[in-house]
Amino acid sequence: MYKVQSYQVAQGINIKMVRAKLNYTLLFAEADELFYQINDYQYLSIFQFGIVSFFNVSDTEIKTIKHQIKNFGRGHVKDSLTEDIVVKITPNLLKVSFNAVELPSLEDEMIRLVMLHTSQSVALDRYSEITEALLDEANVHSEELERSGRLKISSKNLKKFIGKTLNLKNRISENLYIFDSPDVTWEDEQLATLDYHLKQTFDLKNRYFAIEKRITIIKENLELFKGIWDHRESSTLEWIIIILIVIEVIDMFVLKFF
């Protein structure tokens, strides 16, 4: 019996720098993912969205490697989210359940798939937390609008809120490939089956859609807030113009009669 353990160590990891520094046997590399063999039946996956995944690695070694990789991370995370799953080897059987995966053999690509989906599950947990916090913040302003009829957020803070939401949406789209299966699954039926069942077990698509729905609601709130602010600024500008015209008219009368 083996264990896959995935951790979030940063908001993002510089894959190029990690690749230049680590000396383990590199089995697979892309711009957003590195897959290493540490020793016999020990593997390490590193993802640019800040997740590090281990297969059959001791807690002491995990602590050492995590500390090393954090040097190449960007963006501090307050608490490290984790996801574990047990991997069993049962000849001629491929089965995925809630907390365990049974594989017919210790094949590199099968292990990599398990580590990939476990890591994406951790990333979804993080993005879910962030979108819930953003939605709570949007709700505070909408409730204030309901109570007082006024929007108590400055134009600058509103723009920062909009930027935060757009950046989050971009990161999710860039880093998560929930709907895209790895290329190797197109060439191997067993890998395709494993990929499908892992997505189903971790409920990746439904969790992704829930995050997307929250982002859509947040964007709708922000568009409304922006519309209110634009109207407020437009009204302010109109009043400034009216005051200037009145001052000009008074000035004309003063010059004419006095």
76 in the same domain as 32: yes
Domain hosting residue 149, numbered range? 121-257
Average of pLDDT values for 108-125? 93
Angle between helices 108-148 and 155-175 (to 10 degrees): 160
**Rounded to whole angstroms, how far apart are CA atoms 88 and 145?**
55
> What phi and psi, each to the nearest 5 degrees, are found at residue 35?
-130, 115
68 assigned to some structural domain = yes
Query: Which DSSP string do the residues of 98-132 spell out, in sequence order?
Result: SSEEEESS--HHHHHHHHHHHHHHHHHHHHHHHHH
Domain boundary among 78, 107, 136: 107
Domain boundary among 84, 107, 130: 107
Is a pLDDT exceeding 70 seen at residue 258?
no
158 assigned to some structural domain = yes
**Rounded to whole angstroms, how far apart are CA atoms 35 and 54?**
10
187 assigned to some structural domain = yes
**Rounded to whole angstroms, how far apart are CA atoms 96 and 87?**
9
Burial of 138 (0-12, 13-18, 19+ CB in 10 A): buried
131 in the same domain as 30: no
pTM, full prediction = 0.82
127 in the same domain as 206: yes
Model pLDDT for residues 118-143, shown as the tens digit of each residue? 999 999 999 999 899 999 988 888 88
* Total domains in the fold of the chain: 2
68 in the same domain as 132: no
127 assigned to some structural domain = yes
CATH number, domain of 39, equals 3.30.310
Domain boundary among 80, 107, 134: 107
Among 8, 4, 6, residue whose Cα is nearest residue 70: 8
Model pLDDT for residues 140-181, shown as the tens digit of each residue? 888 887 787 777 777 788 888 888 888 888 888 777 776 677
